[in-house]
Amino acid sequence: MLIKQKGIIIKAVDYGESDKIITILNEHGAKVSLMVRRAKKSKNGLQANTQLFVYGLFIYSKWKGMGTLSSIDVIDQNYHLRLDIYESSFASLCAETIDRSLETEEVSQYSYDLLHFVFEKIKEGISAQLMSVVVLLKCMTRFGFNATFDKCVVTQNHDQSKLIAYSFKFDGAISEAVSVQDQHAMILSNKTLYLLDILQKLPINQMSSLSIHDDIVDEMSALVILLYKEYAGMYFKSQKLINQLHRLDNQS
């Protein structure tokens, strides 16, 4: 059976000497794995058109198990996501998070809308790191946890101006008044916690303009990645490159 679906490539793995297996997140929010025969030796553009982040109309045959790609009508190569190593690493984190948040047979229209949204925002010039924070925040519940940024979880005081840290001991933001109760709490700027709360609650269709200072984005990113490690035991493959880039920045 021949199937035509729009989708975005969220994973691409070499298979043997000439083939490749790609995973697309289709327009309905389902993951579809496809075998691409002779992708690395093809002269019809399959090598370039089956790279990570490519958005297009995928035509493939499928009976049982994995499908086989016939052709791609590329809508957007999203080439800009591969030009810059920083953008590429955080775009990979977005794709990997959404990929791992979905079960094999699960369908989530929101997941497709989210990925499409963040790639469009990056294309518009919004920080890829900031967009990865948005994805990580929006996918938390899919991994079985959540985080509280809008009140002190110890005193239950909703005065956000008093918040200074995130406590893994108390599982949420804490105020200066109780900070002595957790000497290992992650100290953060008040603005970081405030903006995390906004991004966590704000629907993506209402995120029209996003401009946040790089230092704040760095703090948000460090915290949400740590939340995934502590609460879900997750370490992202793309995080290895991100950590290397941070080390190089610190050395320069």
Q: Specify the pairing of strand 172-175 against strand 55-61.
A: unpaired
Per-residue pLDDT, 211:
87
DSSP state of 35: E
- Give the whole-angstrom CA distance, residue 235 versus residue 56: 29
Question: According to CATH, where is 1.20.1440 located in the chain?
Answer: 80-146+186-251
For the segment 155-180, what is each residue's pLDDT rounded down to a tens digit? 999 999 999 999 999 999 999 999 99
Question: According to CATH, where is 2.40.50.140 located in the chain?
Answer: 2-76
HEC-encoded secondary structure of 91-148:
HHHHHHHHHHHCCCCCECHHHHHHHHHHHHHHHCCCCHHHHHHHHHHHHHHHHCCCCC
Residue whose tokens read 């209402």: 206
Burial label, 50 (beta-carbon count in 10 A; 0-12, 13-18, 19+): buried
Residue whose tokens read 């490749």: 20
Q: 14 forms bridges with which residues in the sheet?
A: 20
**Residue 146 to residues 65, 90, 95, 195, 217: CA-CA distances in angstroms?**
34, 21, 20, 16, 19
pLDDT confidence band for 16 (50 / 70 / 90): confident
Q: What percent of the chain stands above pLDDT 90?
A: 75
Q: Out of 1.20.1440, 3.30.420, 1.10.760, 3.30.1890, which CATH number does the structure's domain 80-146+186-251 have?
A: 1.20.1440
User: In this structure, how many other beta carbons lie within 10 angstroms of the beta carbon of residue 52?
Assistant: 19
Q: Is the pLDDT of residue 88 over 70?
A: yes
More confident residue, 6 or 250: 6
User: In this structure, how many other beta carbons lie within 10 angstroms of the beta carbon of residue 167?
Assistant: 20
Q: Which residues of 66-97 are buried (b: 16+ CB within 10 A; e: fewer)?
A: ebebeebeeeeebebbbeeeebbbbbbbbbbb
Q: Is the dihedral of CA 243, 245, 248, 252 positive or negative?
A: negative
Q: Provide the CA 11 distance to its chain's centre, in angstroms.
A: 13
CB 134 within 8 A of CB 97: no
Q: Domain spanning 2-76: which CATH class is it, in words?
A: mainly beta
- Give the whole-angstrom CA distance, residue 97 versus residue 117: 15
pTM score: 0.91
Q: Is the pLDDT of residue 22 over 90?
A: yes
Q: Is the pLDDT of residue 153 over 90?
A: yes
Per-residue pLDDT, 168:
96
Per-residue pLDDT, 221:
94
- φ, ψ at 20 (rounded to 5°): -150, 145
Q: Is the pLDDT of residue 43 over 80?
A: no
Closest to 214 in 3D by CA, of 70, 35, 86: 86
In the predicted model, what is the mean pLDDT of the chain? 91
